[in-house]
Amino acid sequence: MPFLFGTTSTGLLYTIDTTTAAATLVGNTGLGNIEALDFNGNDLLGVNFSSTPSVFSLNQTNAAASLVATASISTGVVRSGVVLNPTTMLVRGDNGSNTLYSISLTGGATSAIGVMPSTVFGMDFLGPTLYGVDADGRLYNINPGTGGMTQIGDTGTQTYLSLAMINPIPEPSSIALTMIGGVALVGLAIKRRRS
């Protein structure tokens, strides 16, 4: 059965049942606020809330955090992030502007990709397309090579803090679009349990 992982502004990691919405505490990551949460294969990654952020692997049974890489430059605090490929994570940082950065997961080398024209608080890939949602509820296509954005439409006046896609591939997930808004839940990733 599919379930979600969510993090709180205090660094707690939960599983969320997709049938009942029941949240079960996995544990405390010890990282405080995590606003970028995504899977790299079966590895759950989270980014801490620091001007020079670090990417951590989060143990899915006890929430223990293991350092993967620290950015080589300041990005400002990270508001959203997504795994681009097995060795690279994209993050949107607050360093003077809404800038999209790439962080190497194998050493931390960090590069500014481009300034994003809107403040993206959630982004994820569905197939090859990167989507993003801003604080005013607008949905965008994002160019991962430039940070350029094309507005698709407006979801309304909701404030979204995360965006997660369920992949059409049977493992780890199935097709759907999930947007979560709220104050306490700041990171979201989707995972299907293996039978």
Give the pLDDT band of residue 98 (cuts 50, 70, 90): confident
- Does residue 11 carry a pLDDT above 80? yes
Domain extent at residue 90? 2-192
Identify whether the C-beta of residue 46 lies closer than 8 Å to the C-beta of residue 56.
yes
CA atoms within 13 A on the CB side of 129: 14
Query: What's the pLDDT at 165?
Result: 56
In degrees rounded to 5, what are phi and psi of residue 31? -100, -5
Residues 39-86 have pLDDT tens digits of 999 999 999 999 999 999 999 999 999 999 999 999 999 989 999 999
Give the pLDDT band of residue 157 (cuts 50, 70, 90): low
Query: What's the pLDDT at 17?
Result: 82
Asked which of 28-42, 46-60, 125-139, 146-160 is least confident by mean pLDDT, the reply is: 146-160
Region of 117 on the Ramachandran plot (φ > 0 left; ψ -120 to 50 alpha; else beta):
alpha
Q: What percent of the chain has pLDDT over 90?
A: 50
Residue that wins the pLDDT comparison between 18 and 50? 50
- Does residue 19 carry a pLDDT above 70? yes
Q: Which amino acid is at 139?
A: L
Residue 55 belongs to domain with CATH number: 2.120.10.30
**Tally of domains in the chain:** 1
* Whole-prediction pTM: 0.82
Q: Which amino acid is at 30?
A: G
63 burial class (0-12, 13-18, 19+ CB within 10 angstroms)?
A: buried
Residue that wins the pLDDT comparison between 149 and 17? 149
